[in-house]
Amino acid sequence: MAQLIFAQIDPGIVILFSIIGVAVGAAACFFVLTKLSKTRIGTAKEEAAALKAKAESEAEKIRKEAAKEAMLEAKEERHKLRAEFEREKEKFKTEFERETKERKSEIQKTEARILQKEDSIDKKEQQLDMKRDAVEKQKQDLLKKEADLAVLESELSRANEKMLAELEKVAELTKQEAIDRLMEGLVEEAKKDAVNVVREIENAAREDGLKRAKEIVGQSIQKCAADYASEITVSVVPLPNEELKGRIIGRVGRNIRALESATGVDLIIDDTPDVVTLSGFDPVRREIARVTLEKLIADGRIHPARIEEMVERVKKDIEAGMKEAGEAAAFDTGVFGLHPELIKLLGRLKYRTSYGQNILKHSLEVANIAGAMAAELGADVKIAKRAGLLHDIGKAVDSTVEGTHIQIGVDIAKKFKESKEVIHCIAAHHGEIQTESIEAILVQAADAISGARPGARRESVENYVKRLERLEDIANSFTGVEQSYAIQAGREIRVIVKPNEVDDSMTVFLAKEIAHKLESELDYPGQIKVNVIRELRSIEYAK
């Protein structure tokens, strides 16, 4: 029956109902799937939101912990810095108290020395008053001798008149001839009397002046005890062993070339065991090279880059040392208010020498001697000391600036606004211009004393021999000189004259003329004693 019914149904209807069924099933499936997708999406969003909230919570927790740790580290670092600051503060305070204590001690010592000097000055003033009284007495004696000389001249005039009258009576001479003969005798006798009087006066004045001058100079020198060190144009650096010579030379000589190029000094490495010789005329460069080489040897690393680095470091140290030396020199001499550039130039004199004499030590001695003599004579001590300290300042740069060290020093003093009195002392300390103040004379004398002291300077054998030969040639150039001998290293010249040509009275004038010619034609340290000797010998033989 059923088969019959289905057989009677139109196939198109069957297909239609099949399609509708498929569509309804598909729609139901779509609805179900959509519902499930929405449910899953909602669940995923909830899970994502929960994860996000959890992550944010954990991130916030981590951030707070990191901030807390950073704060703890910052507090700890702050405590460390504070503790270090406190330690440095305590160290600085200790050093400051120690330096203050040392300065106070030095000031007390200086005050004690000043009090001693004041006592010494008072004593010297008393001695000077006594000397003035003695000079006044000598002056009175001289006036008395002049009066006696006037009486003698009056008696001589009367004797001349009497002699003229007698000559007119008994001599078969004309009046003019008698006058001529009389005048010759009188002139000769007056010359001899004048020579004797001059000799007595000169001897008395010379003895008194020399005694006073020796006292002043001796006391001034005693107040100054400067050391001397003869320096030459080479320095020697000792080596621990011979192997270091090869390392100093370097591969194909690169190390030694780098050191010579950086310092401007020649390195001499020869067969002399365990030493390297540094040669150069600039003492500052030679000192830089010496210190650099010693530090490189101690460090052990010797190569071009290290050499350049060490040279620059040593240069800075040397410059700082020169500045300290200049400040110490100004402090030791009591010269204040110097320009900073003048301080640096003073420090450069530490490495400058003249005839083996250190110029900075020489300047210190000149300042102290000039100041001491100025105090004895009542001159301006401050100007004398300041000029004495700066008198050779031109030698600090005379190797790089044209001109004499005197002109360079004058220009430097003018540039840094030194006083006219100090500038004049610098310009006149070698006698090239006329001295116009007692301070200039004292600086000139102190410079000569410092340079002429035994052992202060050295002279080459060639120059020494030439100076002695020139000294004897000048003495032999005078008429009546038989022979002359330079003795005591050129500090004395003994002149032997011909007794038949030079009499006793003429020896005085001859000694003066030789001394004047030596002063005008010869350069020498200190002074030269001219000793003229006249000896008459009579020889007979008994047969």
Measuring CA to CA, how many Å separate 30 from each of 16, 26, 37, 44? 21, 6, 10, 21
Burial 178-197 (b: 16+ CB within 10 A, else e): beeeeeeeeeeeeeeeebee
- Cβ atoms of 285 and 264 closer than 8 Å: yes
CA separation for the pair 44, 41 (Å, rounded): 5
CA separation for the pair 36, 25 (Å, rounded): 16
Q: What pLDDT is stored for residue 212 in this prediction? A: 64
CA separation for the pair 246, 49 (Å, rounded): 79
Q: What pLDDT is stored for residue 5 in this prediction? A: 47
| Type of residue found at 514 | I
For 482, the enclosing helix (H) or strand (E) is strand 481-487
Residue 466: Cβ-neighbour burial (10 angstroms; 0-12, 13-18, 19+)? exposed
| Type of residue found at 517 | K
Q: What pLDDT is stored for residue 244 in this prediction? A: 77
Task: Give the position of tokens 């799937």.
Answer: 33
Q: What pLDDT is stored for residue 228 in this prediction? A: 44
Structure tokens at 438: 């007692």
Q: What pLDDT is stored for residue 308 in this prediction? A: 86
Residue 49: Cβ-neighbour burial (10 angstroms; 0-12, 13-18, 19+)? exposed
- Cβ atoms of 475 and 493 closer than 8 Å: yes
Sign of the Cα pseudo-torsion (116, 120, 125, 126, in order): positive
Burial 405-427 (b: 16+ CB within 10 A, else e): bbbbbbbbbeeeebeebbbbbbb
- DSSP for 47-106 reads HHHHHHHHHHHHHHHHHHHHHHHHHHHHHHHHHHHHHHHHHHHHHHHHHHHHHHHHHHHH
Q: What pLDDT is stored for residue 4 in this prediction? A: 46
- Cβ atoms of 256 and 269 closer than 8 Å: yes
Coil vs helix vs strand at 5 = helix
Measuring CA to CA, how many Å separate 358 from each of 116, 290, 402? 29, 18, 22
* Residues sharing a CB contact under 8 Å with residue 135, sequence separation 6 or more, in sequence order: 208
Q: What pLDDT is stored for residue 216 in this prediction? A: 62
For 425, list phi and psi in degrees, rounded to 5.
Answer: -60, -40
> Quick count: other Cβ atoms within 10 Å of Cβ 476?
12
Structure tokens at 510: 């001859």
Cα dihedral 185→191→193→194 (10° resolution): 150
Q: What pLDDT is stored for residue 502 in this prediction? A: 84
Q: What pLDDT is stored for residue 229 in this prediction? A: 41
Cα dihedral 160→163→167→170 (10° resolution): 170
- Cβ atoms of 416 and 342 closer than 8 Å: yes
Of 220, 208, 215, residue with least CA distance to 373: 220
pTM (2 decimals)? 0.47
CA separation for the pair 476, 486 (Å, rounded): 11
Structure tokens at 64: 């707070």
Q: What is the pLDDT along the chain (543 residues), one digit of tens a residue?
A: 544 444 555 667 767 777 887 777 777 777 777 777 777 777 877 888 888 888 888 888 888 888 888 888 888 888 888 888 888 888 888 888 888 888 888 888 888 888 888 888 888 888 888 888 888 888 888 888 888 888 888 887 787 777 767 766 665 556 666 667 667 766 766 766 666 676 677 677 766 666 666 566 555 555 554 444 444 556 777 787 777 778 788 887 888 888 888 888 887 877 777 788 887 777 778 888 888 888 888 888 888 888 888 888 888 888 888 888 888 888 888 888 888 888 888 888 888 877 667 888 888 888 888 888 888 888 888 998 998 988 888 888 877 788 888 889 899 999 988 889 999 998 888 877 888 888 888 888 888 877 766 555 555 556 777 888 888 899 899 988 988 988 877 778 999 998 888 888 788 888 888 988 888 888 776 678 899 998 877 778 887
